Chain A
Amino acid sequence: MNKLISPNIIRFCVLVLLQVLILSNINFLGFINPYLYVLFILLLPFTLNQWKVLLYAFLIGIIIDVFQDSGGINAAASLVAAFFRPYILKFAFGVSYEFQTIKFYQTPIAQRFTYITLIVFTHHLVLFSLTYFNFSYIVEIFKSTLFSGVFTIILCLIVMVLFRKRYR
């Protein structure tokens, strides 16, 4: 139990600080920011109860919101991503997920990539829809989702490559 909790708490704190102090201030080309804290939702243990996943996702989102004065947009986006996580897991990993036998770092790279991509884009679409909160900004919503999403996915993959040994 302890082995499961402590890396997640550390990851939670590190990702929140990294997000609010550095990543949200990148503003690449004026509007592109990665939202790496999604990685926390991605890496929550697959065997964790769904209601706990929802609660933790809401928690990290609302803390990011408090730091960024953004109301509840990050909380809502993380929550939606967490809600769809079991379905996306099932879609990405197929049978091996249903038998609960997989470990994240032992899955094939293509399946893992599908999983990351779907979660990240779900999260970003909700996030930017709520950020702009106006249908007249629909082009900006999709543009931000696409560019920031790609940025986030690349960062997620880099972080996973860098830190993979620790979780083995």
Chain B
Amino acid sequence: MQQIINFLIKYKNTLLFLLLLFISLVFTVQSHSYHKSKFINSANSLTGGVYNWANDVDEYFNLKEYNDRLVEENKVLRAKLGIQQSKDSDTIFQDTASFDSPYQFTSAKVIRNQYANVDNYILINKGKKDSIKSDLGVITSRGIVGIVEESTNGFSRVISILNSNSSISVQLKNTNHFGSLVWNGHDPNTVQLEEVPRLAPVKKGDTITTDGRSFIFPKGIPVGIVNDFELDQNESYYKINVRLFNDMTNVGYVYVINNKNIEEIKTLAPNE
């Protein structure tokens, strides 16, 4: 017994080092696997508060850019509205059930954005109080941003598409061939599209949009365009570099999409 205590006293520094190292490595391994990093999480009131405060200063520098984006988005929406109105005038279409979209949009502000690491996260200033929960899609007017991972009362943490754990199902706009969108950790403006079958007619400049298969994003949200592509080594799948429409280094304001039918869909397809 005496010897054990002596041993502990003699090697207390090394033992403490090993213990703390073990803890930090556990956190590290957790952070490298999807949906596991619960403890070390910036969506809490302390870090969220600090980032919120810093963002209040920071956002003034980007106001002009955000204004331009809003004007651009308004233009697109007005054009769509115009199409709708011209249809209404010569068709009678009175089915009130179809007016209720299954998707509910919540606007939020990005208060911390990362894009230089391999695993990037985005912090937004809306949380459970605004009924934002995990597994909701996040987009901007230009394209997709990521998926909500964790939310606390006032803040939510979003897994950016620039994250090695992120994998989002997307499709070629023209032909409906789908694949999954991943990131190799290099260029924040380019992501990789994998598992597109060889039969798909891929051309440079083709538009990539979300397919509605995951039920997180509605079908047809723009993602980016094909920058270049090559056939994989086993020659059956394409590996495509996609240039994002979104500038992931300057996101600004986002919309969180809540699919109100998701519970119902989950009971039908529990594995999705």
Question: What is the CB-to-nearest-CB distance from B15 to chain A, in angstroms, rounded to a whole number?
Answer: 9
A20-B50, A54-B17 are contacts. A69–B42 as well, Cβ < 8 Å?
A: yes
Among A30, A67, A69, A79, contact of B21 (Cβ-Cβ < 8 Å): A79
Q: How many of chain B's residues have a CB under 8 angstroms from any CB in A?
A: 37
A51-B13, A67-B42 are contacts. A61–B24 as well, Cβ < 8 Å?
A: yes
Question: What is the CB-to-nearest-CB distance from A66 to chain B, in angstroms, rounded to a whole number?
Answer: 6
Among residues of A, the one whose C-beta sits closest to the C-beta of B121 is A69
User: A interface, how many residues as a size bin?
Assistant: 20 to 34
List which A35-66 residues lie within 8 A (CB) of chain B.
50-51, 54-55, 58, 61-62, 65-66
B40 lies within 8 A of A65 (CB): yes
Which of A70-78, A93-101, A116-124 touches B? A70-78
Among B27, B44, B54, B116, contact of A72 (Cβ-Cβ < 8 Å): B27
**Across-interface contacts of A30 in B (CB, < 8 A):** 116, 188
Cα A132 to Cα B186 with chains together (Å): 11
A17 lies within 8 A of B50 (CB): yes
Among residues of A, the one whose C-beta sits closest to the C-beta of B188 is A30
Cα A73 to Cα B185 with chains together (Å): 17
**Across-interface contacts of A131 in B (CB, < 8 A):** 117-118
Question: What is the CB-to-nearest-CB distance from B163 to chain A, in angstroms, rounded to a whole number?
Answer: 10
Among A54, A72, A137, contact of B40 (Cβ-Cβ < 8 Å): A72
Within 8 Å of chain A (Cβ to Cβ): is B4? no
Among B13, B37, B114, B116, contact of A71 (Cβ-Cβ < 8 Å): B37
A65 lies within 8 A of B118 (CB): no
B31 lies within 8 A of A69 (CB): yes
Q: Nearest 3 A-B pairs (CB), nearest first?
A: A71-B31, A72-B27, A72-B24
Residues of chain A having any CB pair with chain B under 8 Å = 17, 20-21, 27, 30-31, 33, 50-51, 54-55, 58, 61-62, 65-73, 75-76, 79-80, 83, 130-133, 137
